[in-house]
Amino acid sequence: MSKDLILVESPSKAKTINKYVGKSYIVEATVGHIRNLPKTKLGIDLENGFEPKLVNIRGKGDVIKKIRSLAGKSKKIYIATDPDREGEAIAQDIVDILTDPQKEKIERVMFNEITKKAVNEALNHTIKIDEHLVTSQRARRVMDRIIGYQVSPFLWRAVIEAYGSSLSAGRVQSVALRLICEREEEIEKFIATEYWSIVAVFKTEKGEEIKAKLYEVNGKQIKVPPKPQMNENDWEEFLKTNFAISGVELANNIAETLRSKKNYTISDLNKKESKRNPYSPFITSTLQVESSRKLRYRPRRTMMLAQQLYEGIDLGSEGTTGLITYMRTDSVRLSEDVVSEARNFILEKYGQNYLPEKAKNYESKNKKNVQDAHEAIRPTSLKYTPEFVKEYLDEAQFKLYELIWKRFIACQMESARLETTTVSISADEYVFRSSGTTILFDGFLTLYDEDLEDSNDQNGSSGLIPVGLELNQKMKLEELTPNQHFTKPPPRYTESSLIKELENNGIGRPSTYAMIMGTIIDRKYVEQLDRKLIPTELGRKVNTILVKNFGNIFNVNFTAQMEGELDLIADGEIGYLKVLNDFYEPFSKTLVEVEANLEKIKCDKCGSDMDIKMGRFGKFLACTNYPECKNIKSLKDFAPNGGAPEETGEICPKCGSKTVFREGKFGRFIGCEKYPDCDFTKVVTLGLKCPKCSDGEVITRRTKRGKIFYGCNKYPDCDFASWTMPKAKEEEEPAETSEEEY
């Protein structure tokens, strides 16, 4: 008896679905894509409508053969690939490898969660493959291939000294690199400005303390001084409406005056109630951001764990069960059924006070760029509480599931009510201010709060303001402290803040963020120190070349425009050819100009141009006059000093030769230029004494997975290790500084 065939991408997904559908179905996995553009050539007909030449992926022959065999024996063929562009493209690839009689048996099924109810409903309500979604994916792939194949070789030639690196350019990854490099340039050009704050501790007659910061002098609010390069006229204009404590002499004079004052009183007392609304349910980007901040998981790891939770976890007697909805989404929509279920759960567990009168409805900020085919990321069933599933998940899976669970339940809970009390304490022309916030009703905060990375103390807030204060009440000055500060440069991006920046600019999509982060780090364009993204020398060199030559292509506006047009293809509002022409016309024009200005490497045998080729052992230079001239050269021959490593300027203590910088498995180190004849090596230290043994120095090291940490160069005699860079003993923690402090 013939059976129906269900095709999915993942073996684990196939296993979960197989449990739900029974013996009348065969569930088979494609194990990802089965067709792609060819590896060894462009694979796009630029002269005839940018038609892609897709080929079967090498190594997938057995999978394709099995699919064809099963399709021939099946009554119906259900394609159940993921509900997004990539899933739709894989569905079309399956159609393309089958015969016409087999194609007539095909039905497309789509579900947002892998549960018995969702799978069976999908099988009973089949749809057609979305041609617009497929076309959008093809356009994205073609655009990326053109850039990769036509810009990357240019990079190989332009950065020929980096012959050992796998250089590449990407439509979105290069913009991400540009943002990181531009931020680094801002930091390097930043000139710190000195300023002072004055903090006082006052006491009431009952002995209650209030910590406050000097806020106003002569009716002018204290502000951080402008940039030091400000001209005299602008400085005078600034001081007409603001007051700046810009140096130690002024700070001490003000402090001396304040200490002499005896008549401090409460001049203003203000209480204000406010609401704090719950956060929207997770989408891909916000999940990656929060997972990075709360759990310290990199985006790639977050998506891997989310994939496991989506495809199914063995819950013992419950069997293999999908625990969350599809994790690649930019929609915050929730189904009415699951919202109703959440409201019942909140009422039962937390009580009536925590249940809003009406269900909370969330709308995407940028509706035109949202793919609303499926819901936000949420648990598939409220039966599977974190406590219920904990014993079946490993620690990392559990932490991510708990985060998703709490965010979802909290999004349907009542808002928190807060009361902020602001008190002003004055003596003549000087006004101190302090504020504190009290939670009147915790609402959703009882379950979930979004800890901010860059919170700072505003208005001298002490957090608690004594109750029972009154206007004109006398206060006693207990302490007064002038504090020196320096303005800080803009912060480096973290993976989470870079994802937010890309998303805010309309760059990248749910399925691409983790890949973008991974690519720029794997290519060694960027490294992470204390979770901050710092461009490497190679990354900055690549960015400089790309911005100089392709600045109109690798920029935020053009990339966002292309993303928007790809979305319009998916919506059926614009054609494939229009979008590719919009991209290729400015790109090809720029490429021609760049090629014309690029210095050619000439063949030393026939005088023709040399071009970079890819061979079994990597990239090499070959004469374009082949086969008449078969001259080839190693890229190393054209690198500065023949590709010799950078000298340190020091002498090898072992043999007297020069020492050079080298790259090893665990990072940069110093070695003898005569290696392997001389095996002298030395670690590159950071100039900091080890905080544990005080004898060794701190060095940067890497784990087997490439993650950077800090250790002592006396290891194993000293086992000091830290994920964060230690500070020198005399170095104080810099104060958080911004205008908002005042």
Q: Could you tell me which CATH class the domain 4-129 is placed in?
A: alpha beta
Nearest-10 crossing angle of helices 556-570, 131-158: 150
Distance CA 347, CA 352 (A): 5
Q: Report the pLDDT value the prediction gives residue 731, as an integer from 0 to 100.
A: 36
Q: Is the separation of the CB atoms in 638 and 647 below 8 Å?
A: no
Q: Which residues contact 47 (CB under 8 A, 6 or more apart)?
A: none
Q: Cα Rg for the chain, rounded, in angstroms?
A: 31
B/e letters for 133-164, b = 16+ CB within 10 Å, e = fewer, are bbbbbbbbbbbbbbbbbbbebbbbbbbbbbbe
| CB-count burial class (<10 Å; 0-12, 13-18, 19+) for 605 | exposed
Query: Which residues, listed in sequence order, are joined to residue 44 by a DSSP beta bridge?
Result: 52
Q: How far apart are the first and last CA of the chain?
A: 78
- For the chain, residues with pLDDT lower than 70 are 1, 157-167, 227-229, 364-373, 451-463, 599, 614-619, 635-646, 663-668, 685-687, 702, 704-708, 724-725, 727-742
DSSP run (H or E) holding 242: strand 242-243
Architecture of domain 284-410 in this structure:
Orthogonal Bundle (1.10)
Q: Which residues contact 358 (CB under 8 A, 6 or more apart)?
A: none
B/e letters for 174-206, b = 16+ CB within 10 Å, e = fewer, are bbbbbbbbebbeeeeeeeebebbbbbbebebee
According to the 3-state scheme, what is the secondary structure of 156-167?
A: HHHCHHHCCCCC
Q: Which residue reads 């800090």 in tokens?
A: 710
Active site residues: 326
Q: Name the DSSP class of 12.
A: H
Q: What share of the chain is helix, strand, coil (3-state, %, to 5)?
A: 40, 25, 40
Q: Report the pLDDT value the prediction gives residue 461, as an integer from 0 to 100.
A: 43
Tokens of 489: 């440069």
Distances (CA, A) of 428 to 132, 258, 408: 71, 10, 52
Q: Is the separation of the CB atoms in 212 and 432 below 8 Å?
A: yes
Q: Report the pLDDT value the prediction gives residue 243, as an integer from 0 to 100.
A: 93
The predicted model scores a pTM of: 0.79
Q: Which residues contact 106 (CB under 8 A, 6 or more apart)?
A: 77, 79, 94, 95, 98
Distance CA 473, CA 383 (A): 56
Distance CA 667, CA 683 (A): 9
Q: Report the pLDDT value the prediction gives residue 595, as an integer from 0 to 100.
A: 78
Q: Which of 310, 324, 301, 362 is nearest to 496 (CA)?
A: 301
Q: Is the separation of the CB atoms in 164 and 118 below 8 Å?
A: no
Q: Report the pLDDT value the prediction gives residue 732, as an integer from 0 to 100.
A: 34
Q: Domains of the chain: which residue ranges?
A: 4-129, 162-186+502-596, 194-277+416-486, 284-410, 610-642, 647-722
Strand arrangement, sheet containing 77-79: 25-29, 4-8, 77-79, 106-108
Q: Is the separation of the CB atoms in 668 and 684 below 8 Å?
A: yes
Q: Report the pLDDT value the prediction gives residue 508, as an integer from 0 to 100.
A: 85
Tokens of 614: 């890819």
Architecture of domain 194-277+416-486 in this structure:
Distorted Sandwich (2.70)
Q: Is the separation of the CB atoms in 453 and 293 below 8 Å?
A: yes
Q: Report the pLDDT value the prediction gives residue 372, as an integer from 0 to 100.
A: 47
The Cβ of residue 102 has, within 10 Å, a number of other Cβ atoms equal to: 19
Q: Which residues contact 213 (CB under 8 A, 6 or more apart)?
A: 197, 198, 199, 200, 432, 433, 434, 459, 460, 741, 742
* Identical topology for domains 4-129 and 194-277+416-486: no
Architecture of domain 162-186+502-596 in this structure:
Orthogonal Bundle (1.10)
